[in-house]
A and B are shown apart, each in its own frame.
Chain A
Amino acid sequence: MYRIEARNLTKTFKTHKSRPGLLGALRDLFTRQYTTITAVNGIDLLVEEGEMVGYIGANGAGKSTTIKMLTGILMPTAGFLRVNGMDPHRERERFVRTIGVVFGQRSQLWWDLAVQESFRLLQHVYRVPDDVYRRHMGYVIEVLDIGDLLDRPVRKLSLGQRMRCELAAAFVHNPPLLFLDEPTIGLDVLIKMKVREFLREMNRTYGTTILLTTHDLSDIEALCSRVVMLDKGRILYDGSLEELRRRWAEEKRVVVEFARPVPVEDLNRHTADLPVTWEQEHPYRSRAVLHQGDGALVSSLLARLQTYPVTDVRVEETSTEEIVSRIYAEGMARA
């Protein structure tokens, strides 16, 4: 069974344009001009049980709108949508019992209540039996290390503390499917690692299916086997992270540092028969761009450098971050 099955899913918004000036405002009173914005444009998405999927895209690409349709908040304009085998919008109350949602920028805990009271309330809302609650939440609280925060009011928590409590709150009813909308936004590295570790643990223990949107690609590198990239409401890429890297990665580069200044012409002459071009960064450091992905090329290159006093060698690969920002910038052109 698919956890998420979306076919040709589309969402358009109608907004009215305001005409400029006082006269324009007066005219707006009588006749309004509407523009239709297509936030999500016919996407197909299939997610299977137990998958961890990263959903990425530039701001305004339509990520949040998709999540809101998948969680039953917004009604799709067109297309077919089944999540956990249900129509999220039409069967909302029954459906939301089977999902968990965490919005990084919006708290779902009750500001004035102690964390524990919020959990208790959710326990009643989701009708979790006491013994199940104690066993399961005891485990969640332990993994997230929030035992000390339980009797503090939410408004007195730091962002990192609150975020961990939000995650715990999303797991009160142990949903088989979890949506995370930028869960690590604004968190420090240690907390980020803790959050990721928790998500991996839940995925391992309960087989929780996870769909997460993020701007921090290291989240995806750490968690997701699959990436779905969205641009202007359309899916640009859907597949593994390695494949994404392979398809868009640029040439490998080798940075070499020398004990004395070495002119770049000398280096070029020495490696004239190799598919390599040198660029000088400064007299002591040059960069070789390898035009061919052959693994042995690095060793032949190093062999040629034996006559030079090399102090350091570093192999550079394009980071996922660079790849993705390049794809954002170039958009559909290269897809």
Chain B
Amino acid sequence: MRSPERNPWWWCRPAAGLARMWTALRPYVEWVRLRFLLMLAYRVNYYSGIAVYTINIGAYYFLWKALYQGETTLGGLTATQMTTYVAVAWMARSFYFNNVDREMAQEIREGRVAVELIRPYNYLVVKAMQALGEGLFRLCFFSVPGMVLVSFLLPVDLPESPHTWGLFALSLLLSFVINTQLNLLTGLMAFFLLNNEGLMYAKRVVVDLFSGLILPLSLFPEWARAILVLLPFQAISYLPTMIVTGAWTTAQIEQALLVQLVWSLLLVVPIRALWVLARRKLVVQGG
């Protein structure tokens, strides 16, 4: 109905302020719930995925085992820490990974974005919320059971302190935010390029490689590492995964979280700029 009138003094009454915030957020939360339910309805598609991820982790495990012949540490990680790294990195990926860019490109190409623009919500936030619903689904039905399965099969060394897990959860959430922001950016490019297939594919490869999913950053040559720590990609996989391996001190962990936080705030700027620009020069395809 009519929008509730704005009260600039809401912060004077915290309870009312919280209630108002909840009213504002409620529709967005609804998207998380819906996507989660939708994924649940199509869950059979995911059983095959578990096998694929397990094979991936297994393959990397044997590869690393061969590389560790005669060495005790590589890039500051022991063989067991490396196995843990590989397993955790892949399982984390299933949470932060999403196809928001692809979905956006399709909606823009088919002109369905017009329908999104007549709704009283922020299209990009809705897309991010759908991604979160999907991520949460995979976390519950994929990452956690997958991790249990892997820990039976491979010699992984998971931390016991709930404190470390708490920090990891926070870090993982931030890696989801950053990865989704990068996806939104690539997705938004569809407004300008009309066909951003190549860009999306390139982004995917870059993220997998530079985020430290395939190779921990500490194994890159010095010069490459100097560049990679300046990019947002490491914040997606390398930083959260290193927290779990137990190879880092508290100070290092704190710094990692700070880096993630800074990136997730920084990336809001280009997204907003592109969104404003896109809306201004939008051409709706197909009438």
Contacts and interface: CB of A to CB of B under 8 A. Distances in A.
Contacts of A98: 2
A33 B111 CA distance: 25
Given A113-B34, A129-B1, A173-B1, A94 B282 contact: no
A124 B26 contact: yes
Contact of A132 (B1, B26, B117): B1
A96 B120 contact: yes
Nearest to B121: A125
B3 A94 contact: yes
A72 B121 contact: no
A125 B1 contact: no
A197 B41 CA distance: 38
B65 to A, nearest CB: 44
Contacts of B26: 124, 127
B119 A96 contact: yes
A13 B283 contact: yes
B118 interface: yes
Interface string B130-164: 00000000000000000000000000000000000
A204 interface: no
A184 interface: no
Contact of B114 (A68, A92, A126): A68
A89 B284 CA distance: 15
A97 B284 contact: no
A61 to B, nearest CB: 12
Interface string B109-127: 0011011011111100000
A64 B23 CA distance: 34
A51 interface: no
A73 B284 contact: yes
A92 B117 contact: yes
Nearest to A120: B30
Given A68-B284, A74-B282, A112-B41, A106 B111 contact: yes
A10 interface: no
Interface in A123-179: 124-129, 132, 173-174
A101 B120 CA distance: 12
Contacts of A75: 279-280, 282
Residue from A73, A98, A132 with most neighbouring chain B CB atoms (10 Å): A73
B34 A174 contact: no
Contacts of B41: 112
Interface in A81-139: 89, 92-94, 96-99, 101, 103, 105-108, 110, 112-113, 117, 121, 124-129, 132
B283 A72 contact: no
B27 interface: yes
B119 A124 contact: no
B284 A121 contact: no
Contacts of B122: 93
B23 A127 contact: yes
A13 B34 CA distance: 37
Of A68, A94, A113, chain B has the most CB atoms within 10 Å of the CB of A68
Given A94-B3, A112-B41, A73 B30 contact: no
A132 B1 CA distance: 9
A117 B120 CA distance: 18
A94 B282 CA distance: 20
Contacts of B3: 94, 97, 127
A73 B2 contact: no
A108 B26 CA distance: 20
Nearest to A179: B118
B4 interface: yes
A71 interface: yes
Nearest to B26: A124
B282 A73 contact: yes
Contacts of A121: 27, 30, 34
Nearest to B283: A13
B287 interface: yes
Nearest to A172: B1
A113 B284 CA distance: 25
B118 A73 contact: yes
Nearest to B24: A127
12 contacts: A71-B118, A73-B117, A75-B279, A99-B118, A101-B118, A103-B115, A105-B287, A110-B34, A121-B34, A124-B26, A125-B119, A125-B121
Given A72-B117, A127-B1, A127-B3, 10 more contacts: A68-B114, A73-B117, A93-B120, A94-B120, A96-B118, A121-B34, A126-B1, A126-B120, A127-B26, A128-B1
10 closest A-B pairs by CB:
A124-B27, A125-B27, A97-B120, A73-B117, A124-B30, A101-B118, A108-B115, A96-B120, A93-B120, A64-B287
